Chains A and B, each alone.
Chain A
Amino acid sequence: MFTLEARTLPSVRAMWLAPLAALLLTLLGGSVLFAAFGHAPLQALSVYFLQPLASVYGIGEWLLKATPLAVCGLGLALGFRAKVWNIGADGQFTLGAICAGGLAIACDGFIDAESLWIAPAMALAGIAGGMMWAALPAWLRTRYGSSEILSSLMLAYVAPLLLGWLVNGPWRDPAGFNFPQSIQFADAALLAPLHEGARVTLAFPVALVLAGLLCFVQRYTYAGFRLQVSGEAPLAARHAGYSQRAAVWIAMLTGGACAGFAGYAEVAGPLGQLQPSVSPGYGFTAIIVAFVGRLDPRGVVLAALLLSLLALGGEAAQMTLDLPAAISGVFQGGLLCALLACDTFVHYRLRRVYRKPAAHTS
């Protein structure tokens, strides 16, 4: 019989070994799965993990897909450290897209190639939109004490309906044959690709800078310290006079701002217009990203890259190996469960419990 025992300090060795163990487990499981389909496991795994990165374009796509996950995940991780559970990043992402896109549509008549102000204005609008959608649960939590987990989740379902109404009605492209989508944004309103022919935009380096900034805030600033204390030891925080309300507001607004920016980067980047659905669940996947990244900004970026690679690998497996799309879902879900399980050993160690210690002395 084994039991878990809390470590006084997180184990550095386990920190490195846990993801490796999870990966190993998944690779083993994946091999069995692929072998069951009649594919050589090694070849299948290389299709899954290496083929997507075989070209510059592929690498660009990898970073592009990781960007919204990383940006949303970074904002969420900060909140989760303070034990503020914002799980509505998907709605904040959509609101960011709506506000940024709305600005581009409203200004379409009078912007030209010289209008350098439009891109930052849209970014700010996106951030404001995301913050607005996050402010509501923050206000309900601080004013009435209602759980932000649930109110932010509910708002995540309201946002796409709002977007659906906008693109079906007031923002529908007049020349678009009554299809529910907006006009395509003017070139000045779009984020230029980082590399000729690729699609990854400035938003990815912004994500990296953001990760660095959050690392700094968490480690070296008083505000970061207070946030962490109010998460890990709420009583101590209260004793020290740190405001719990401030922690909630900071955590929610940061999460909302990040998700809103990611929404902006998506519509001003690969989409280039508003359509009835702008997020295939980025905000939800970002929650997993935040935890797989252990709520550490560096880890979050790595986790976002991993999940993005899995999605790309799923497409490569369909194209090269004729594996059905559903198999990727199984593979991804399995890997996530393995990662979450293995991470236990960072904070806990296994200890053998002897039911009858006297009888079993060795």
Chain B
Amino acid sequence: MFSPRRRQLLQFAAATPLAAAFASVPRPARAAFPKPELPLKVGYVYVSPIGDAGWTYQHDLGRKAVEASFGDKVMIKVIESVSEGADAERVIREFASSGYGLVFATSFGYMNPLLRVAKQFPKGIFEHATGYRQAPNVGIYAARYYEARYLTGILAGRMSKSGVAGYVAAFPIPEVVMGINAFMLGMKSVNPQAQVKVIWVNAWFDPGKEREAAATLVAQGADVLTQHTDSTAVVQTAEDKGAYAIGYHSDMSKYGPKAHLSAATHHWEGYYRRVVQQVLDGSWAPDNVWGGIKDGMVGLAPLHPAVPAEVGALVATKKQDIIDGRLLPFQGPLFDQAGRQVIGAGAKLTDDELLKMNYYVEGVVGQMPK
């Protein structure tokens, strides 16, 4: 309340050793979660206010899609601005004990509280976004945002005249670093000389600082900006300064009618509908989902009309390549910032290596805070 900071979500998932260790609890038989009584009560726990764009807004779009698809069969409640401390456990438990059969907790910091509640309510079903620990009644889900980041990198590489892009980032956790690196690699794939300058603002949300960082990047020669923070300030700054912008989380074209080339967007609608359907059918089992563009969990916002058709076609081709598995953003040979080879030609980074990523790839300017 008085804190100038606001912590938010982080990201994670996939077949990691730790997750595997927890998942190795023998999977329950399908009948472990019988068909629920109707309406199924579904609770959503958000880390910030819903707002008009950003991480929580995208989750709320997913929530609305569930409401629209299932109508009377579900009854949904939302609690927003739940801090990632002692309050989270109470809110999640409150849902579980008031007969909510399914709870979505949409921020990394809810991981341990959620697991404690899940243990006390073995009949409840819990879904945790971006964590790495599972349980017999806890599924985890996240998306391969880096796939869309790679594509927006291509877009930036082709649209930038200076070959320098600016990246405003919040905290150096692997999800953010992965995004920066994927963006860099995408940019490099069309312009070997490209650079990405990174500024860490040390806040998920501080529109003033985000703006200052964006303006700094423009002053230092960046003509395409993107961000991994939670406001639209960077897109608005690009609009003001006559630079291009690439949004994140949501389609932010409204905030930069001239600047907004596209955005790497999150889409939870399909996933939430699928999980709710499974729960209604009595077929839900804990899973570990790390979906990409192919699964419809990550996407690109419509391209700006100023993007030449030929560039649009290139992005579309690469997107199809990613969907078909022909293109992996983190494909060898891969070099880190200092020029050391991370993996050789033909090799690829495993999911596990991706999820722990804490180095920049070649071309990124700046030093990662330790």
Q: Do A and B come from one complex?
A: yes
Stretch at the interface among B88-96, B259-267, B319-327: B88-96
Chain B contacts for A266, CB-based, 8 A: 85-86
B80 touches A178 (CB 8 A): no
State A148–B43 Cα separation when bound (angstroms). 45
State A322–B44 Cα separation when bound (angstroms). 12
Query: Is B10 an interface residue, CB under 8 A from the partner?
Result: yes
A160 touches B3 (CB 8 A): yes
Stretch at the interface among A207-215, A229-237, A246-254, A275-283: A275-283
State A148–B5 Cα separation when bound (angstroms). 24
Please tell me the size bucket of the interface on B: 35 or more
State A269–B89 Cα separation when bound (angstroms). 12
Contact with A along B63-90 (1 / 0, CB 8 A): 0000000000000011111011111011
Partner of A280, one of B1, B10, B109: B1
Query: Is A324 an interface residue, CB under 8 A from the partner?
Result: yes
B2 touches A177 (CB 8 A): no
Chain B contacts for A312, CB-based, 8 A: 90
Chain B contacts for A329, CB-based, 8 A: 1
Q: Which residues of A (152-175) have their CB < 8 Å from a CB of B?
A: 157, 160, 168-169, 175
Query: Is A197 an interface residue, CB under 8 A from the partner?
Result: yes
Q: Which residues of A (57-107) have their CB < 8 Å from a CB of B?
A: 57, 61, 64-65, 90
A178 touches B86 (CB 8 A): no
Query: Is B242 an interface residue, CB under 8 A from the partner?
Result: no
State A284–B295 Cα separation when bound (angstroms). 46
Chain A contacts for B93, CB-based, 8 A: 57
Known contacts A169-B370, A315-B91; A178/B85 CB under 8 A: no
State A157–B77 Cα separation when bound (angstroms). 35
Q: Which residues of A (303-338) have their CB < 8 Å from a CB of B?
A: 311-312, 315-316, 318-319, 322, 324-326, 329
A7 to chain B minimum Cβ distance, whole angstroms, is 34
State A168–B1 Cα separation when bound (angstroms). 23
B85 touches A278 (CB 8 A): yes
A160 touches B2 (CB 8 A): no
B246 to chain A minimum Cβ distance, whole angstroms, is 25
Closest residue of chain A to B4, judged by CB?
A: A157
A281 touches B85 (CB 8 A): no
State A157–B4 Cα separation when bound (angstroms). 9
Q: How many A-B residue pairs have CB under 8 A?
A: 102
Known contacts A178-B356, A325-B49; A281/B77 CB under 8 A: no
A165 to chain B minimum Cβ distance, whole angstroms, is 10
Q: Which residues of B (1-45) have their CB < 8 Å from a CB of A?
A: 1-5, 7, 10, 12, 16, 18, 43
Query: Is A216 an interface residue, CB under 8 A from the partner?
Result: no
State A273–B370 Cα separation when bound (angstroms). 21
A151 to chain B minimum Cβ distance, whole angstroms, is 18
State A169–B370 Cα separation when bound (angstroms). 6
State A129–B171 Cα separation when bound (angstroms). 27
Query: Is A223 an interface residue, CB under 8 A from the partner?
Result: no
Partner of B7, one of A61, A90, A276, A285: A276
Closest residue of chain B to A325, judged by CB?
A: B81
Known contacts A64-B86, A315-B91, A318-B78; A179/B173 CB under 8 A: yes
State A157–B109 Cα separation when bound (angstroms). 22
State A139–B112 Cα separation when bound (angstroms). 40
Chain A contacts for B109, CB-based, 8 A: 181, 275
Closest residue of chain A to B46, judged by CB?
A: A325
B88 to chain A minimum Cβ distance, whole angstroms, is 9
State A276–B356 Cα separation when bound (angstroms). 19
**Interface size of A in residues (CB-CB distance below 8 Å):** 45
Query: Is B108 an interface residue, CB under 8 A from the partner?
Result: yes
State A311–B94 Cα separation when bound (angstroms). 14
Chain B contacts for A42, CB-based, 8 A: none
A177 touches B12 (CB 8 A): yes
Known contacts A280-B83, A319-B98; A160/B5 CB under 8 A: yes
Query: Is A271 an interface residue, CB under 8 A from the partner?
Result: yes
State A157–B5 Cα separation when bound (angstroms). 11
A177 touches B174 (CB 8 A): yes
Contact with A along B242-285 (1 / 0, CB 8 A): 00000000000000000000000000000000000000000000
Query: Is B358 an interface residue, CB under 8 A from the partner?
Result: yes
Query: Is A184 an interface residue, CB under 8 A from the partner?
Result: yes
B124 to chain A minimum Cβ distance, whole angstroms, is 15
Closest residue of chain B to A61, judged by CB?
A: B90
B84 touches A275 (CB 8 A): yes
Closest residue of chain A to B177, judged by CB?
A: A178
Query: Is A199 an interface residue, CB under 8 A from the partner?
Result: yes
Chain A contacts for B7, CB-based, 8 A: 276-277
A57 touches B97 (CB 8 A): yes
A65 touches B97 (CB 8 A): no
A271 touches B86 (CB 8 A): yes
Query: Is A270 an interface residue, CB under 8 A from the partner?
Result: yes
State A316–B90 Cα separation when bound (angstroms). 11
A-B contact pairs, 19 of them (CB 8 A): A160-B3, A169-B370, A177-B355, A197-B120, A266-B86, A271-B86, A272-B112, A273-B112, A275-B84, A275-B85, A277-B85, A281-B1, A281-B3, A312-B90, A315-B90, A318-B77, A318-B80, A319-B77, A319-B79
Known: A160-B5, A177-B132, A319-B95. 18 other contacts (CB 8 A): A175-B18, A179-B108, A184-B112, A266-B85, A269-B86, A272-B112, A273-B112, A275-B85, A277-B83, A277-B84, A278-B85, A279-B3, A285-B1, A315-B79, A315-B90, A318-B77, A318-B79, A319-B77
Residues of B within 8 A of A (CB): 1-5, 7, 10, 12, 16, 18, 43, 49, 77-81, 83-87, 89-91, 93-95, 97-98, 108-109, 112, 120, 132, 171-174, 355-356, 358, 369-370
Closest 7 CB pairs of A and B: A270-B86, A281-B2, A281-B1, A325-B81, A284-B2, A280-B83, A318-B79
